[in-house]
Chains A and B, each alone.
Chain A
Amino acid sequence: MLKIAETKDLTAIVEAAVIKHGAHADAFVPILLEINHEFGYIPGDAIRMARKFLHELYGKNPEEHILVSEGQLYGLASFYHMLHTEKTGRHVVQFCESAPCHVQGGRELWKSMQQSLGLAAGETSPDDRFTLKTVSCLGVCGVGPVVLVDDDLYGNVTPEQLADIFAKYE
């Protein structure tokens, strides 16, 4: 996942996402997910462009109910946890905060994570290396506590392992 928005052609990516998922109301969330995946977050410009492309498609096929305001799209982006409206670091570290992880040493781990990264939940490091977040249950409770770095899942994590895990991400 490349996170540096400037190096990517925002217009082309948004247009491709809109065309791929099509001009249906039920495609809004998939379109935003795709943009989020490309940039790590949803830039304000992307929302503007998504609206524009959707309306162009509407012009070709007015049968579909896809007239949508920027506010509505932003409303989606701010509602769902996996869509980010703020720029994130190069790597997103997510800690599973659910009960099974909590009772299996998650509480201590979460404290160590905040300490070793020097970040609180939702914060990004000044060098843009890490963003620390909590995530709801990832469903791998058999190996809790669980940490997700970008798309890599780590199970049975102890505070001692954190340094080695973080060292893999530059």
Chain B
Amino acid sequence: MAFYRSHVLVSVDPECLAKGAHEVIDALNDELIAQGLLDEVQVLETSRIGDPYRLGPDMLVYPEKEHYANLSADDIPYLVEEHFLKGRVVEKFRAQEKAVSDEELGAPKPKEVRIVLRNCGKIDPHNIEDYIAEDGYQSLAKVISSMTPEQVIAEVSKSGLRGRGGAGFPAARKWQLCRQVPDNPKYLTCNADEGDPGAFMNRRVLESDPHSVVEGMIIAAYAIGASRGYIYCRAEYPIAVQNLKIAIAQAHEFGFLGDDIFGTGFSFDLEVRMGAGAFVCGEETALIASIEGKRGEPRPRPPFPAVKGVWGKPTNNNNVETYAVVPQIILKGAEWYASMGTEKSKGTKTFAIAGDVINTGLIEVPFGITLREVIFDVGGGIKDGKQFKAIQTGGPMGGCLTAEQLDLPLDYEALTAAGSMMGSGGLIIMDHETCMVDMARFFMEFTQDESCGKCTPCRVGTRRILEILEKICAGEGQPGDLETLEDLCYEVTRNSLCGLGQGAPNPVISMLKHFRAEYEAHIYEKKCPARVCKALIRYEIQAAACTGCTVCARNCPVEAINGERRQAHIIDVDKCIRCGICAQVCNFNAIQVLS
């Protein structure tokens, strides 16, 4: 097979042909012959590349992936001389990229470093060749042909990679534990049950770059000696499931999966298992139970999955992101990866920023970056010019941090020491109009609902905590409630079976710690300082600002507003249901919320 240093793909769809694509190809071939480059540069016809009406005729040049547009035969001699002879990109022919419409993942923001997300939005997830063109499966080839399993584990160990699912256990040590268990067969599971509200980093990787996860799993399987793997993906992510299935089928076709991979005698097979909507299945023993076709309930550890996992056999379980980064570590070396981050947390981490921040969506930043940088530099600051109040890290089992902790470096130990946790990477940012009692109630509602019910502290405890919080929000809090809350939180944390119950009280504990005055205001003064809790607020019309336009009275669903036209109106507090419609429709900002 001839080897070309460059491939030129010219679009020959009907529109481009009508605009002279064949003339461009002829000119290209003529010029390559004239310059003596015909053995080095191959010209191929391909289907549509960009929008033909706007960009045609256009071409893609590999390996640079340069997209030249609006070409004519006359442009070709200059293009060939500059690009193929002198190796310079010809700016004036470059296609003008359309403004990015990807709401989740735009161009990298300041201070971002993209490793896990590097291919997202750049390659076609349905085409394994796109992934291969981005150095895909090179690491697998390197590992299988030139490294022993021990060397692979040593390399990953040197990189300092820690489990990205939340707990941050060193990946290499986990692999080693599983490898040394004298029992076969061994299994590999990938936790793609990303259930934390507000976290969707894994979904994006699975949808946009599924092969990186598949390759990472094959490498891990080789290191551990596993023969079969499961990707457990939540059913709420139908596109991720579909893209994974396509990726696995293609990897089979190319001989990266299946029997005797690359003729080395190593065999590994992979399949996707779909969840059916149970948050607790993100816990590893529950995940394993669910794969086995049981109710997804956790069980006590030990034995750890490394000893007894799927079908009672040694099983290594890692998160999507952990696997996805492995090929990059093998390809670029452990030193490269370990050069980023802090002493104990190496590399980068993806986060999903949500809530009251200007740039919501996905980011990937090196460990050690401060929360302040994440919120104000990467996230663009708080929406609508409001003030920052708190940030919830680690999802519904994490904790909240306040303005005083904004200079904390993001790493596993620092967040844990501050009473929160890294978790899988959801960051929810709250402005000063958020009520912290209401937020705590909200998180408890979630964990209470998702508690699987197997152990009593979690099943009953989360319900009792929620009831107290509901009472406080309703203005019925009593002296002693906060102490009862603290006791309950302590017991639930200490006595629950799995991470769900152990972590469930975290938001309450941390919010109580940082915003105790707000809780006390609800209980003792019957006030909601953020003016959110319906039972504790009232709406009032400022007579001086009211023009008597009657808009509020006409929109009030319970006819609680009275007043003559052109006279100041009055809200009947007894009738008012505090829906807030009047404040929304008032054109003069005459309606105030008081507590």
Contacts and interface: CB of A to CB of B under 8 A. Distances in A.
Interface of A: 24-30, 32-33, 75-76, 79-83, 97-104, 108, 111, 135-144, 151
Interface residues of B, number: 49
B120 to A, nearest CB: 14
B236 A141 contact: no
A138 B236 contact: yes
Contact of A26 (B104, B238, B291): B291
B275 interface: yes
B198 A140 contact: no
Contact of A139 (B236, B276, B579): B236
12 contacts: A30-B274, A33-B274, A76-B276, A97-B446, A99-B197, A103-B354, A103-B355, A104-B354, A136-B197, A136-B277, A139-B199, A142-B360
Nearest to A26: B293
Q: Is chain A's interface secondary structure helix, strand, loop, or mixed overall? A: helix
Given A76-B293, A139-B194, 17 more contacts: A26-B292, A29-B276, A29-B290, A30-B274, A79-B296, A79-B297, A80-B276, A80-B296, A81-B276, A81-B277, A82-B235, A99-B392, A99-B396, A103-B430, A108-B580, A136-B195, A139-B203
B428 A99 contact: yes
Contacts of B580: 108
Interface of B: 103-104, 194-200, 203, 235-238, 273-279, 290-297, 352, 354-356, 360-361, 392, 396, 428, 430, 434, 439, 442-443, 445-446, 450, 452, 579-580
B352 A103 contact: no
A80 B278 contact: yes
B354 A142 contact: yes
Contacts of B355: 99-100, 103-104
A83 B104 CA distance: 29
B446 A141 contact: no
A24 B200 contact: no
Nearest to B452: A79
Contacts of B194: 139
A72 to B, nearest CB: 8
Given A29-B276, A99-B197, A103-B430, A142 B450 contact: no
Contacts of A141: 197-198, 200, 352, 354, 360
B104 to A, nearest CB: 5
Identify which of A26, A83, A100 gathers the most chain B CB atoms within 10 Å of its CB.
A100
**Most A CB atoms within 10 A — which of B103, B273, B276?**
B276
In the A-B complex, the 8 residue pairs with the smallest Cβ-Cβ separation, listed nearest first, are A98-B197, A81-B277, A100-B354, A80-B276, A139-B200, A82-B277, A28-B293, A25-B293
A94 to B, nearest CB: 10
A139 B197 CA distance: 7
A151 B239 CA distance: 12
Contacts of A32: 276
A89 B105 CA distance: 36
B278 A79 contact: yes
Nearest to B579: A111
A135 B274 CA distance: 17
Contacts of B273: 26, 29-30
Contacts of B236: 82, 135-139
Given A26-B291, A29-B290, A139-B236, A100 B428 contact: yes
Contact of A103 (B277, B434, B446): B434
A127 B250 CA distance: 46
Contact of B295 (A26, A76, A98, A151): A76
A98 B443 CA distance: 8
A144 B237 CA distance: 16
B279 A136 contact: yes
Nearest to B427: A100
